[in-house]
Structure formats: C-alpha cells, structure tokens
Structure 1
C-alpha cells in the first residue's frame, strides 16, 4: 500500500513538472492623474512692489465670496467683503493654493480673538509682502468679524496688514458706555447696539482691516477660544485648519 502511494505520488509529481506554466503578466499600478496647477500668481515672487497689482488682477479674474474653514472642533463658514478687494483676493489666493492648510491657530485669547495663518514648517514658498489697509467705517470688530493682523507698529505708520496672519473676533458684550470708551472713534447707534447685544472688541476699530465675517459656526469659534493654551497663548493641542473656497 505504501509503495503504491509512493508510485502514484511520483507519477503525479512527474506529470506536474512536465506542464508549462503561462508567463504571468505584471500589471503596473494605476497612477493618479496629476492635478492641474492652481491658477494665480507665483506666491514666491510676490513682494511689496507687485502684490497689490497681482492681487487686484487675480480677484477680478478669479472671484469668490465664501470660504469653509474646517477644524477638529467643527467648521466655520466665512463671507468675504467686496469693498476690501485686496484683502479678499489675498485670502482667496492663499486658501486656493493651500497655504493655510499647513498652519494652526497660534494665538488664542479667550474673550478677545483667535489668530492663525503662521507656521515655521511651511513647504509652500511664499514671498514676504504686506497689504495696504482697507479700513472702512461700515465694518467693525463685532463678534465674528474676520480681520488681518499687523506687526511693527512703530515702523508701520501706514497700518499695512500682514499677508498671512488672520484673526476672528470673539469679544465680550459691552454696555454702550464701555464700547464707546474702548473705541478709537465715534461709534454709530448700530455699532453700539451690536457691541451690546452680540459683543466684540471696539478697541480694534480703525486700526485693523476687517474684510469678512463668520456666517456659520460661531459656536466653533467659542470652542477654539476655550482651548487650554501655554504662556504664549498657543493651544496646548494644535488646532489645525483646512480652508476651501466654496462660493
């Protein structure tokens, strides 16, 4: 019995070795299509001498009005103002180029504002440039206002805005007397009412450009403002962001 099994097994092995296997054709893994380049000026070549002209042309050719800001704490929808065209075009351009997606909220002051847009780990080359102020009496620092920061006040008499550091106002509710005392200019009845009913930071009025506002997600703003921070007002757990132009 054992010999028969061994003989049959040997015969089967011999038969199998005589059969020729068809060559296996290796298929190359499909490659993802290369996305088309994002239109707009080369960010690396932007500077104070050409930024305004480049941004003005870009805003006219590639308009937009609403941006979705996604975070781990929820989403915020922003509306950008038409009467601040340079700040608006700059924000649209950097959002579409993915610049803000590499950044986090790096300054959070509860009851005041949350600020983001800066990083030390940027992979997208970005020239150094500033934005001329587009400060209007119509737009003020009520709760939910979107503005652009600035630096070096002693060397920046023209109140030029940063190109990347934006902030969103949380603020606190203020009596008309408190709001007027904090403001750097005469407030209108509408502004006094807004500061009293919804809150804000009137001390920033007339000093920084407000170029948009939150239209959805004020609760998310409050969540970001409530994050624990270190001595430098940087959240202990990073709050990253993804910005997408949606309209």
Structure 2
C-alpha cells in the first residue's frame, strides 16, 4: 500500500523518537489536496470543508448532534469511546465523518507497540472530506493517558498553531512514567498535573510528551484489550501493519 500519498503526518513525537525521519509521510499542500477533492466530490456523501468554513460548519453541526459515544469495530473486536463535550469542534468533526460513513473506508495504518495506534486514513478511500484543519482545543483536564483519543496533525514548521488533522486520529497505549519524568514534562509544557493525573501516569501509563501538543478529545471506556491486540500486529520498518486492520465506526445510543 502506498502510504506516501497521505496528507497528514503521525504525531510529531513518533517522527522524532520512534521513526527518526519518515520518508513516507510528506504532507501535501492544501492546494494539492483541494484539487484532488474536486475530482472525486461526486463520490462523497460529505460536503467538503475548507479552512474558511470549518469552524462555522462544525459549530452548527455540534448544536444538532450531541452524540458522545462511538464504537470502532475491527477484526480484533470492538473499541467503545466517549467523546468530550469540552472539545466541541473535534467531537462534531468525528461524529460528522462517522455518520457519513467516511471512517468505514479507513484503517489502523500505523502501529507502534507501547506507544499508540493510528487510524482514520486509507489509500483505497473514495470519499473526500475537503482540505481543512481543526483549530486546537487543548484542555488541561484531558491528558494523553492510556486509552486517550486524540487527533494527529502537521508538524510544527507547517503548523505553528498546532491545528489538528481533519481525520487522522490515534489511541494512546503508553507506559507508566516516574514522577521525575512528569515534572520534566510540566516544565517543558508550562503546565501542572493534578494529583489524579500524576496517579494515572504513574500507574496505568500514557504519553505525557504529547500533552499540549495534540488535542485529546475522547477516551476508551471499553476495549483497550482490542487496542493492545492491534498493537501486536507485525509491521514493516515504517510501522505499517503487514496485514491491514480496517475499521468501521458508528455512533451509539447514550
């Protein structure tokens, strides 16, 4: 599969700490992506969004769709997630893509055992959602604990405001951290963890290196064992599974 065509990169720390330099993740310009979208708009159930209208459309959509529970189905089983109301643009975007069937053409395409699994994209997708990014919605309440759901984004040079990808998401695995490590991340990110957050990071684990870098907008409430199974997939040198892991996503009753 030719993942060099992907628009959005994996989380930046993957590039630096785990992939070093990934030649397979070269972002396209918005102009290139928009041109490709025009060619296939007739195949899409979605009205493609743009940088200019994304906030207006998602704000309006969020008022009409208060869905907060979603189910990701894979060949390894189901993952149930709760989306946060305090990140309304990200929640609305995820629900909008889900209801349109966009994520039913996606897969978990990048896997780093002990770190995270990333999904949302596929080279075989025919639906297009437009060339846009989502304004970041950082919230100190929501950290990259084990089971956190967050959106990937462009790297810093191309995206100083740390806006999120339109569709690529990841679920955190992570490992337990020491209090000393957490203090270092507090200083780096100019933040302060609560006692409860410190307990989470030192017991169940997570990836504090990503806090205040990527928007966390939900969490796994059932099915972390499925995330762990996905993380066991055999991968190539760029952490792409040898056997694809397709996913289907739907909203479920509250």
Correspondence 1:195 to 2:198? no
Cα offset for 1:134?
A: 0.3
- In structure 2, the partner of 1:80 is 83
- Match of 1:116, SS state, is strand
Structure 2 contact 48–128 (Cα < 8 Å) conserved: no
Q: Deviations over 1:45-93 (max 9, x none)?
A: 3100001110111111122010000000010000000000000000000
- In structure 1, the partner of 2:66 is 63
Q: 1:227 aligns with which of 233, 245, 252?
A: 233
Instruction: Report matched runs for 1:16-27 at 5 Å.
Output: none
TM-score, length basis structure 1: 0.81
- In structure 2, the partner of 1:244 is 250
Q: 2:179 aligns with which of 176, 183, 196?
A: 176
Q: 2:134 aligns with which of 128, 131, 135?
A: 131
- Match of 1:153, SS state, is coil
Structure 1 contact 80–213 (Cα < 8 Å) conserved: yes
- In structure 1, the partner of 2:96 is 93
Correspondence 1:215 to 2:221? yes
- Match of 1:193, SS state, is helix
- Match of 1:131, SS state, is coil
Cα offset for 1:178?
A: 2.2
Output the CA distance in 2 between the equivalents of 1:182 and 1:230: 31
Cα offset for 1:42?
A: 6.5
Cα offset for 1:171?
A: 0.3
- In structure 2, the partner of 1:102 is 105
- In structure 1, the partner of 2:38 is none
Q: Deviations over 1:120-164 (max 9, x none)?
A: 222113211100000010000000000000013202111110011
Cα offset for 1:199?
A: 0.5
- Match of 2:50, SS state, is coil
Could you list the runs of 5+ residues in structure 2 that have no partner in the other structure? 1-43
**Which shows bigger deviation, 121-130 or 232-241?**
121-130
Could you list the runs of 5+ residues in structure 1 that have no partner in the other structure? 1-40
- In structure 1, the partner of 2:49 is 46
Structure 1 contact 176–193 (Cα < 8 Å) conserved: no
Output the CA distance in 2 between the equivalents of 1:191 and 1:109: 23
Aligned length: 207
**Which shows bigger deviation, 233-242 or 179-188?**
179-188
Runs of 4+ with deviation above 4 angstroms = none
What is the RMSD of the two structures over their aligned residues, measured on CA atoms?
A: 1.4
